[in-house]
Structure 1
Amino acid sequence: MEEEVQTNTHELDEETLFVVSQTFKALSDPTRIRILNLLCCEEHSVNEITETLNLGQSTVSHQLRFLKNLRLVKFRREGTTLFYSTDDNHVMNLLHQAIDHAKHQ
């Protein structure tokens, strides 16, 4: 039996509403979706992301900064190279559910 999730919008404070809207804003951009989907399985450097997704480095850097500010990705430094990976499994699950939903239509 599937568990029903009930949310009362009267219980949402302004901060929660803002975070939820920012999360959906992050997932509303095709470039950010492509980046998150690439990073879901393993970390990649900025150069690897640009090459794999055929995007400009400034575009990738801008989108990674946006995602990092929302704490959806994190990075580690190895010398002068930054390696990015996902930092929020809840959002990644939401993204994968949306992708699965889109593929079933």
Structure 2
Amino acid sequence: MHADTNSEHLGVDSPYIEVAVEVFRLLADQTRVRILLALRDGELSVNHIADIVDRPGPAVSQHLAKLRWARMVTARNDGNRAFYSLTDEHATRVIREAILQAEHAVDADPVHHRAP
């Protein structure tokens, strides 16, 4: 994982804005969000991911192909099995912030603001 040391490219005129919008479009799917969250703790096989997100294996494979195309996940083959892992922590950070924002939209007193 890489440290975020340079954020000068985050201005309103950033050349990455169009690509960022495509990332949001890609993440606008419950299954993909669940897949990325499942991968937070490490590498998983397609079948294991399918079990976790309660979706058929072929559907999960299609979602993983899109996430791989976007370079959010990487694959490692071991015989006839594929194992997936996160490319870096950025996708789950975006998802985390979206979930925290969703808590504000749903609850006047979001869980993440409450004392433990």
Query: TM-score, normalised on structure 1?
Result: 0.81
Off by >3 Å, runs of 4+ in structure 1:
5-8
Equivalent of 2:14 in 12, 15, 38: 12
Whether 1:69 aligns to 2:87 is no
CA 1:88–1:18: 2 relative to 1, 3 Å: farther
Counterparts of 1:7-86 in structure 2, within 5 Å, are 7-9=10-12, 11-13=13-15, 16-86=16-86
Aligned length: 98
Deviation at 1:32, TM superposition (A): 0.5
Mark the runs of 5 or more structure 2 residues left unpaired by the alignment.
Answer: 1-6, 108-116
Q: Secondary structure at the match of 2:77?
A: strand
Q: CA deviation at 1:80?
A: 1.5
The 8 Å contact of residues 36 and 91 in structure 2, kept in 1 or not, is answered as: no
The one-letter code of the counterpart of 1:58 is: P
State the Cα RMSD in Å: 2.0
Counterpart amino acid of residue 85 in structure 1: S
Identity %: 33
